[in-house]
Amino acid sequence: MAKYLLLKHYRGAPAAVNDVPMDHWTPQEVTAHIQYMGDFAARLEANGEFVDGQALAPDGLWVRYDGEGRPPVTDGPFAETKDLIAGWMIIDVESEARAVELAGELSAAPGAGGKPIHEWLEVRPFLAAPPTITE
Amino acid sequence: MTPADGFDVDDAGSGTGLTAGTPAVDEAVLRGLVPRVLGALVRRGADFAAAEDAVQESLVEAVRTWPASPPRDPAGWLVAVAWRRFLDATRADAARRRREAEVAAEPPLGPVTGGDDTLWLYFLCAHPSLTPASAVALTLRALGGLTTRQVAQAYLVPEATMAQRISRAKRTVADVRLDRPGDVATVLRVLYLVFNEGYSGDVDLAAEAIRLTRQLAEAVEHPEVSGLLALMLLHHARRAARTTPDGALVPLAEQDRTRWDTDLIREGVDILQAALARDRLGEYQAQAAIAALHADAPTAQDTDWVQVVEWYDELVRLTDSPVARLNRAVAVGEADGPHAGLAALAGLDPSLPRHDAVAAHLTERAGDVERAARLYEAAARAAPNLAERDHLTRQAARLNAARRP
């Protein structure tokens, strides 16, 4: 088994096919989208493949160390930040092919007009624990 | 419960019984009997989930009554009680009338044939209809007696997810009727996975894999079962030397061999020699033989690399595995020099895991430091786990630092 992160972006991903912002959908379309996401997670849990799913607020801060005895420097949020993560799902699956299959299903979540968004999702493997037998 | 003298599991059927006056039941001994009892019930027609519930109830009953009246045959006692509980539960459940009719038609309970029933459960938990992850989870739950929470923690997934994985696995094998032994190789693959790809957590999966493989070796005479057990013991012996206190990997050549566990090595070598004497070589015996040659060398330089290469030749012949060929190239590099090692590497697919790491090592030994540094960098980027990536990054950094004026 291997764990994968399915990463959803507010910004930074290539444009989706059905690229209409969520606040321009009908309320029913928003509800249908949320329902789809919830059903997807529930199905993964029933499959024994679900690990975690979280959404992130679009606004955040940049923080860095500013030297001994000084408070950290904060800045932002930067409206021009190219890559903005919206949330993720972590899955534990048999193979990369299965991770791709599930990401494809997640990308089919309905958007404007009730049609699939065809959104680009980033699929990233976790670095696993080292095996014992390597020679 | 406190550890007590308890009874001898191997002798459980011959009437040794619990030592008189034993104040409590030995939990570990009780846990060791579970696979036999569960196997006996499932084999007599109980479905997996119901059998597990019934066995659980029989254990509770044992803990309650054994201190006062120890049974002469603990396993037989547990099977009888669990079977009765299973029938009670089946009768109580109107929806299960049909199954009741089926089990009522089963022959009456015969004597408990320990090894057979345990073995049967191993085959069921490793059944080919299960995915590897499901087989691993079911094996640890049903044979290892771990709780679902423990299995979930060991594999870093939520308990609800693991509960679903296990119950799906039980449903998958619910209708499997094994009328003949399965393929031992499928069982060994599952145990190998538990040992080798175990995550760290509260549960010591390597120790659990060894315990389950020992138990299997008691239930079935098979040189490859012995081979796998020897392989596990020989690698487990190096555990203390394999990582630094802060978790960094220590390669085999740099390990402090005085920290290897000589008792485990001796046991592993003895088991391996007995298996090899039966002249039915298999991949686990070949891998164990390689591990035994390393265990036998007081220092890395003293390793009998020519013999190691010969065993890799056997392993390649047995498995045709590209990973075995890759490791063979490393051994050839030690036996015949880095250029011979690079020649052995030349025909292999560069996208193989650890290909660049092996190439880097051999290239450095061949004297091309600059190219070796590039290869270590590439190997670090492709490393499948953090500990290896860190190790390879340090190797690249070491070579890059040495090249700076």
Using alpha carbons only, what angle is made at residue B298 by residues B296 and B303, rounded to the nearest 5 degrees? 65
Q: Which of residues 27-46 of A touch B (CB under 8 A)?
A: 45-46
A96–B contact, CB cutoff 8 A: no
Angle between helices A27-47 and B159-174 (to 10 degrees): 60
Residue B40 lies in a domain: yes
Closest by Cβ to B197, choosing from A51, A52, A131: A131
Length of chain A: 135
Closest by Cβ to B168, choosing from A48, A94, A127: A48
A54–B contact, CB cutoff 8 A: no
First to last CA, chain A: 21
Do B22 and B70 reside in the same domain of the chain? yes
Angle between helices A96-107 and A27-47 (to 10 degrees): 160
H/E run at residue A4: strand A2-11
Do B1 and B63 reside in the same domain of the chain? yes
Are B182 and B130 within 8 A, CB to CB?
Answer: no
Partner-chain contact A130 B156, CB within 8 Å: no
B165 Cα to chain A: minimum distance (Å): 4
Partner-chain contact A132 B132, CB within 8 Å: no
Do B33 and B98 reside in the same domain of the chain? yes
Range with lowest mean pLDDT among A31-35, B40-44, B108-112, B395-399: B108-112
Are B254 and A95 within 8 A, CB to CB?
Answer: no
Closest by Cβ to B385, choosing from A50, A52, A128: A128
Joined tokens for residue B360: 């880097």
Q: Domain count of chain B?
A: 2
- Tens of pLDDT along B196-242? 986 666 789 999 999 999 999 998 899 999 999 999 999 999 999 99
Residue B257 has pLDDT above 50, yes or no: yes
Closest CA to B291 of A31, A133, A53, A74: A133
Joined tokens for residue B116: 């057979």
For residue B262, give every residue at least 6 positions away whose Cβ sits within 8 Å of its Cβ, in sequence order, or none.
Answer: B237
A101–B contact, CB cutoff 8 A: no
pLDDT for position B111: 45
- Report the mean per-residue pLDDT for chain B: 87
Portion of chain B with pLDDT greater than 90, in percent: 65
B158: nearest CA in chain A?
Answer: A51
The whole-angstrom separation of Cα B277 and Cα B322 is 28
- Tens of pLDDT along B272-327? 999 999 999 999 999 999 999 999 999 999 999 999 999 999 999 999 999 999 99
Residue B12 has pLDDT above 70, yes or no: no
Chain B residues at the A interface, defined by Cβ less than 8 Å, are 131-134, 137, 155-158, 160-162, 164-166, 168, 195-200, 206, 231, 235-236, 242, 249, 252, 287, 290-291, 294, 327, 330, 354, 383-389
A37 Cα to chain B: minimum distance (Å): 17
- pLDDT class for B95, splitting at 50, 70, 90? low
pLDDT for position B7: 28
The whole-angstrom separation of Cα B172 and Cα B170 is 5
Residue B127 lies in a domain: yes
Partner-chain contact B132 A94, CB within 8 Å: yes
- pLDDT class for B10, splitting at 50, 70, 90? very low
Are B146 and B162 within 8 A, CB to CB?
Answer: no
The residue range of the domain holding B196 is: 113-206
pLDDT for position B11: 30
User: Averaged in consecutive runs of 10 residues, what is the pLDDT profile of chain A (135 residues)?
Assistant: 93 89 91 94 95 90 94 83 89 96 97 94 92 85
Do B3 and B108 reside in the same domain of the chain? yes
- pLDDT class for B181, splitting at 50, 70, 90? low
Do B108 and B21 reside in the same domain of the chain? yes
Residue B67 lies in a domain: yes
A49–B contact, CB cutoff 8 A: yes
Residue B23 has pLDDT above 60, yes or no: no
Classified as helix, coil or strand, A110 is strand
Residue B388 lies in a domain: no
Do B76 and B56 reside in the same domain of the chain? yes
Partner-chain contact A48 B199, CB within 8 Å: no
Per-position DSSP letters for B236-266, written without gaps between them: HTTHHHHB-TTS-B--GGGS-GGGS-HHHHH
The whole-angstrom separation of Cα B231 and Cα B291 is 7
Do B193 and B106 reside in the same domain of the chain? no
Joined tokens for residue B40: 């006996």
B246 Cα to chain A: minimum distance (Å): 15
Residue B158 lies in a domain: yes
pLDDT for position B104: 54
| Residue at a domain's end among B112, B142, B176 | B112
Instruction: Give the number of other CB atoms < 10 A from CB of residue B303.
Output: 19
Do B3 and B100 reside in the same domain of the chain? yes
| Residue at a domain's end among B75, B94, B112 | B112
The whole-angstrom separation of Cα A40 and Cα B332 is 50
Residues B365-384, mean pLDDT to the nearest whole number? 95
A128: nearest CA in chain B?
Answer: B385
Number of C-alpha atoms within 13 angstroms, CB side, residue A103? 23
The dihedral formed by the CA atoms of B387, B390, B395 and B399, expressed in degrees to the nearest 10? 180
Task: Identify the DSSP state of A131.
Answer: P
CATH number of the domain where residue B184 is located: 1.10.10.10
Closest by Cβ to A132, choosing from B196, B294, B354: B196
- Tens of pLDDT along B96-120? 556 555 655 554 444 445 567 888 8
The whole-angstrom separation of Cα B55 and Cα B61 is 10
- Report the mean per-residue pLDDT for chain A: 92
Residue B125 lies in a domain: yes
User: Cβ contacts (< 8 Å) between B264 and chain A: which residues?
Assistant: none
Residue B187 lies in a domain: yes
Classified as helix, coil or strand, A57 is coil
Residues B182-203, mean pLDDT to the nearest whole number? 86
Partner-chain contact A133 B196, CB within 8 Å: yes
For residue A96, give every residue at least 6 positions away whose Cβ sits within 8 Å of its Cβ, in sequence order, or none.
Answer: A2, A4, A125
Partner-chain contact A127 B162, CB within 8 Å: no
Joined tokens for residue B345: 């590497």
Q: Domains in chain A and their CATH numbers?
A: 2-125 (3.30.70.1060)
Do B86 and B105 reside in the same domain of the chain? yes
Residue B17 has pLDDT above 60, yes or no: no
Partner-chain contact A135 B252, CB within 8 Å: yes
| Residue at a domain's end among B112, B127, B162 | B112
User: Cβ contacts (< 8 Å) between B157 and chain A: which residues?
Assistant: 48, 50-51, 92
Residue B164 lies in a domain: yes
Q: Which of residues 109-128 of A touch B (CB under 8 A)?
A: 127-128
Do B166 and B202 reside in the same domain of the chain? yes
The whole-angstrom separation of Cα A63 and Cα B56 is 53
Do B103 and B128 reside in the same domain of the chain? no
